[in-house]
Amino acid sequence: MNRDARPQHGVPLETEYRPRHALDFRRTVLFLRRGHNDPTMTVDGPVVWRASRTPYGLATLALRQSSAGGVRAAAWGAGSEWALTQLPALCGADDDVDEFDASLHPLIAHAHHQNPGLRLARTDIVFDALACAIFEQKVTAMQAFGAWRRIVTWFGERAPGPTPHPMFAPPTIEGWRHIPSWAWHRAGLEPPQSRTVVEAARRGDSLARASAAVHTGSERDRVLTSVRGVGLWTAAETRIRSLGDADAVSVGDYHLAHEVGNALTGSRTDDDGMLELLAPWTGHRQRVIRLIGASGMREQRRGPKLHPEDHRAR
């Protein structure tokens, strides 16, 4: 296959999703983008492009929100029909806010009022979300996003459709298993992470089916953490992206507990303190975290910015 040639894209399938609720389309969908140079997701003016590997093959979506609030979508590739059917979930249609009480804290109440269209997207593609979360274990976002960009570009598949620049869908589950060790190293991913991706890929299909079949966070965590190298942080990140889990909390995150504590009390806290602070919103704890992010409240950094060392030339 000539990876530099633009695939024949033909006539797209098209639809329009009309949400029954306010929708901040960009804030909802672009949460899934892993850095500005993510090869699976890009923004070209008013259009958000997303490439994915669906259960029926590759699909590229071109998404644009209309002035009336609907989301117009065009899709190319063998997975087009699946991608258009899944579009409402991608835009947060399954995100139920009926029992969410923002009034429990003034900051959350204000953020919720200011961001009525913030919804939690779900991709329904579990393995890619798991692989992406593994890339982000114990490294900076810059390192993780760079490694993701390289591996997906080198070993993924060119996305169909008239994309504004070459885009790529992630490898197949079998493809993840056969990425050579030198490529992981060149991409900047550490051996513990690459081994975990390969280990997960050995059980990829069964993991995806099992995690989609259960309905509680604890059950999903049990399925995902059965893979050696996958802990609760990685499981939560996977649940957030693939299943739109409104209650998932990424315990063990380097900054999250500090950010939540600072926003809700004005002081830092640890993971246990964060869980205690979020307990009144059980069922919607991820929503509270996202609203804290949307509020613009940030803890003042107390040390020098980390400049990670690049080991790829060694």
pLDDT band at 308 (very low <50, low <70, confident <90, very high): low
Q: Convert the pLDDT of each residue in 20-56 to its tens digit.
A: 999 999 999 999 999 999 999 999 999 999 999 999 9
pLDDT (0 to 100) of residue 304: 53
Using the predicted structure, report yes or no on whether residue 270 has a pLDDT greater than 90.
Answer: yes
For a pLDDT cut of 90, what percent of the chain falls above it?
85
pLDDT (0 to 100) of residue 212: 79
The phi and psi torsions of 301 (rounded to 5 degrees) equal -65, 140
pTM listed for this prediction: 0.91
pLDDT band at 8 (very low <50, low <70, confident <90, very high): low
Q: Convert the pLDDT of each residue in 192-209 to its tens digit.
A: 999 999 999 999 889 888
pLDDT (0 to 100) of residue 299: 67
pLDDT band at 211 (very low <50, low <70, confident <90, very high): confident
pLDDT (0 to 100) of residue 296: 87
Tokens representing 230? 């996958």
